[in-house]
Amino acid sequence: MERVVELIKKDLIVDWRQQNPITGIMLYLTSTIFTSFMAFKGLVSVEVWNALFWIILLFTTINAISKSFIQEERRSLYYFFLSKAHEIILAKLIYSFLYLFTISIVSLIIYSTLLGNPLINHGLFLLNLVLGCLGLSAAFTMISSIAFRTSNRSIMMAVLGFPVIIPVLVLAISNSFKILDSYVFMQIQGNLTALFSVDVIIIALTFVLFPFTWKS
């Protein structure tokens, strides 16, 4: 557990010292939101607001999480001798979840400033956002560890990631639309549980399968 904390701390320090990637992602996010603000000006219904928000989050995730193993290329042998595979993946999962959740909060703030804020039930929306981010970050961390071994990484991230992420995305979008449509917790409890169980499946698979992509 100590090593997991150390690895998370290391990721934080790397991101803090090398501010290029995080600034890049934030700028990417802002410009995507601004472009959609220009394109959709005046015709944003609640449905469009919701779908657009998740689509922007999806594309930002692909770009944000893809770095999680690619940046480790030169260091991977060093970690291989230093710590066990499941410690590394646990640290990566926690870190990429925190990273993605921060991004999604920033994105929600910018997005609702520019395109309006139809949110009624903030708590429930955030709960669904947390579950969605958990699934997105875990699935793309796993995909990133696969894509990191191939020769054309950036394309592989999208090609391998999209089909796998669709269950999470479909559930998250339909849940958040229901939340915007002023459903209460009792009515969407089942759907939130379904989303959570898909997250659990992804995380469990990542734990089992990651050691095989790591030792090479």
Partner 1 sequence: MGYLLKTDWWKWLCVTILIYTVVGGLLFPVPRLNILNETIRVLHFHVPMWFGMILLFLSSVIHAIKYLKNGNMNSDVYSSQLAIVGLAFGILGILSGMVWAKFAWGEFWSNDPKQNGAAISLLVYLAYFVLRGSFQDEQQRNRISAVYNIFAFAMMIPLLFILPRMTDSLHPGNGGNPALSIYDTDSNLKKVFYVAVIGWTLLGFWISTISIRLTITKQKLEDA
Of the candidates 96, 108, 94, 112, which has an alpha carbon nearest to the alpha carbon of residue 5? 94
What stretches of 73-151 show up as alpha helix (H) in DSSP?
76-82, 85-115, 122-147
Return d(Cα 192, Cα 18) in angstroms, integer: 37
CB of 71 to partner 1, least distance (A): 19
- Helix 153-180 with 46-65: angle, nearest 10 deg: 150
- Helix 46-65 with 20-39: angle, nearest 10 deg: 160
Nearer to partner 1, 107 or 145 (CB): 145
Span from 56-64, 99-107, 152-160, 178-186 in contact with partner 1 (CB under 8 A): 152-160
CB of 22 to partner 1, least distance (A): 28
Q: Is 149 in the site for partner 1 (CB under 8 A)?
A: yes
The contact mask relative to partner 1 for 153-192 (x = CB under 8 A, - = no) is ---x--xx-xxx-xx--xx--x----------------x-
Give the sign of the dihedral formed by CA 148, CA 151, CA 154, CA 160. Answer: negative
- Give residues in contact with partner 1 (CB under 8 A): 139, 142, 146, 149-152, 156, 159-160, 162-164, 166-167, 170-171, 174, 191, 194, 198, 201-202, 205, 209, 212-213, 216
